[in-house]
């Protein structure tokens, strides 16, 4: 039987195949928004995995946007560890006025990097995973533990294709999200969006405003827009309190933020505004949950409302999260922590060290990924992928070729070693 060293040599010898695979993935135009455009790319992934012996589960999350889960059942799945490798097929949107060197979906190599939309975020990670799987298959290596590859949709717009995989019951002993991390092993904070609404059941002509704000008017009314400024001030106070009282290793102080992102209100100039809606984005730490953070915000704002006579009669309403930034203007990215002593994390560190000759950096991502949904489903999870965050979403997005090669070697070692580790064991020596 071939060894992992053989696989690493094959990656070096056949690196152009790896680069071509990434170029092929980039050439599928899958920006979100507008989304609903991953069908062809996902069919490619499904066919690729099917040819390697994987059973394919493919279903539409939205029309034109299917998830693909390939499962390679292990030869002894009851005794050996299973693994989910997870990545998203959608990429960041491209505006018409962006000054790319060429078409963002016509990838090319320059200065030892592949340039194209999605190179770093995160088709590079998917390409490395697929190529590692291909070489393991071609070498005739049988994995005793079950391997699943999830190619999901919607990550860029909070549509959480990964959440749909969890809802369908896909589980494993460990999950690796191959999103952008510059080969750091990472956990992440979380994000939740919410709408705060002030709405009166009465409407007033704008000519009645004098009676609401001057002595003797005797009209109990108010502008919902003006009242929303009290709530915004309250959110700023809470944000400052969090900055003082909360912290997490690896994050700069004050990373827990409350962004008043969008405000909508009023009918037109002849009305006192009877409704105002504020769209906020809340960032929180890995040791917090989106439910607890939302409750903190609600409780603080409700206490402010109790001190306002108009808001006592017209209390703020809250709507949290959502399944899509496109469909319902809302999203959730749960946070997660990485246990450095988890056997799979130790295997991953060992695989990284054997390839790169140094210990991997373990820290926290300043961004968010779908990994939170896997962790939220009770699956130990880590983020580990190629690409630098400053290249993700950027004009002339790129991925260093040497980093892609090293990443593919690490991933091949980790897939092989983890699925050859018996449940309950703590390590497996790299061959």
Residues classed as catalytic: 90, 155
Query: In angstroms, how far is CA 193 from the centroid of its own chain?
Result: 14
**275-278 long-range contacts, CB within 8 A, separation 24+:** 275/197, 275/198, 275/199, 275/200, 275/224, 276/197, 276/198, 276/199, 276/224, 276/225, 276/227, 276/228, 277/195, 277/196, 277/197, 277/198, 278/195, 278/196, 278/197, 278/228, 278/231, 278/232
In angstroms, the CA 155 to CA 40 distance is: 18
In angstroms, the CA 149 to CA 130 distance is: 9
Give the chain's count of helices (H) and strands (E). Answer: 12, 16
One-letter-per-residue 3-state SS of 299-340: HHHHHHHHCCHHHHHCCCEEEECCCECCCCCECEECCECCCC
The rounded radius of gyration (Å) of the Cα atoms in the chain is 25
Nearest to 118 by CA among 49, 36, 24: 24
Dihedral of CA atoms 93, 98, 103, 104 in degrees, nearest 10, equals -40
**CB 374 within 8 Å of CB 166:** yes
**CB 221 within 8 Å of CB 205:** no
The token duo for 130 is: 């697929």
């Amino acid at each position: 039987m071939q060894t992992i060293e053989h696989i690493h040599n094959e990656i070096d010898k056949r690196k152009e195949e790896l680069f071509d695979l990434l170029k092929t993935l980039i050439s599928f135009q899958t920006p979100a928004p507008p989304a609903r455009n991953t069908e062809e790319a996902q069919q490619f992934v499904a066919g690729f995995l099917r040819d390697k012996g994987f059973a394919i589960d493919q279903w539409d999350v939205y029309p034109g946007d299917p998830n693909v889960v390939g499962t390679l059942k292990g030869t002894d799945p009851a005794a050996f560890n299973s693994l989910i490798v997870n990545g998203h097929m959608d990429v960041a949107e491209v505006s018409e006025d962006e000054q790319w060197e060429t078409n963002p979906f016509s990838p090319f190599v320059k200065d030892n990097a592949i340039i194209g939309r999605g190179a770093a975020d995160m088709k590079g990670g998917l390409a490395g995973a697929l190529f590692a799987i291909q070489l393991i298959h071609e070498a005739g290596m049988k994995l005793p533990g079950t391997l699943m590859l999830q190619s999901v949709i919607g990550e860029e717009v909070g549509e959480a294709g990964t959440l749909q995989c969890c809802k369908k019951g896909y589980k494993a002993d460990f999950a690796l999200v191959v999103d952008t991390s510059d080969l750091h092993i990472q956990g992440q904070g979380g994000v939740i969006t919410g709408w705060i609404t002030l709405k009166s059941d009465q409407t007033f002509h704008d000519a009645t405003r004098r009676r609401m704000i001057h002595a003797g008017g005797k009209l109990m009314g108010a502008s919902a827009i003006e009242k929303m400024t009290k709530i915004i001030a309250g959110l700023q106070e809470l944000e400052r309190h969090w900055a003082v009282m909360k912290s997490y290793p690896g994050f700069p102080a004050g990373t827990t933020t409350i962004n008043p992102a969008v405000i909508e209100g009023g009918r037109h100039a002849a009305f006192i505004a009877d409704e105002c809606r504020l769209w906020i984005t809340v960032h929180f730490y890995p040791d917090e949950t989106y439910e607890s953070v939302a409750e903190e915000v609600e409780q603080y704002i409700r206490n402010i409302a109790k001190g306002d006579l108009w808001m006592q009669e017209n209390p703020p309403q809250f709507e949290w999260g959502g399944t899509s930034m496109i469909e319902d203007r809302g999203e959730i990215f749960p946070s997660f922590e990485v246990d450095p002593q988890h056997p799979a994390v130790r295997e991953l560190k060992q695989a990284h060290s054997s390839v790169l000759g140094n210990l991997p950096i373990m820290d926290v991502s300043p961004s968010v990924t779908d990994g939170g949904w896997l962790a939220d489903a009770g699956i130990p999870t880590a983020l580990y992928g190629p690409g630098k965050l400053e290249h993700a979403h950027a004009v002339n997005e790129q991925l260093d070729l040497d980093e892609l090669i090293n990443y593919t070697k690490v991933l091949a070692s980790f897939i092989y070693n983890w699925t050859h580790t018996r449940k309950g064991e703590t390590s497996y020596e790299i061959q």
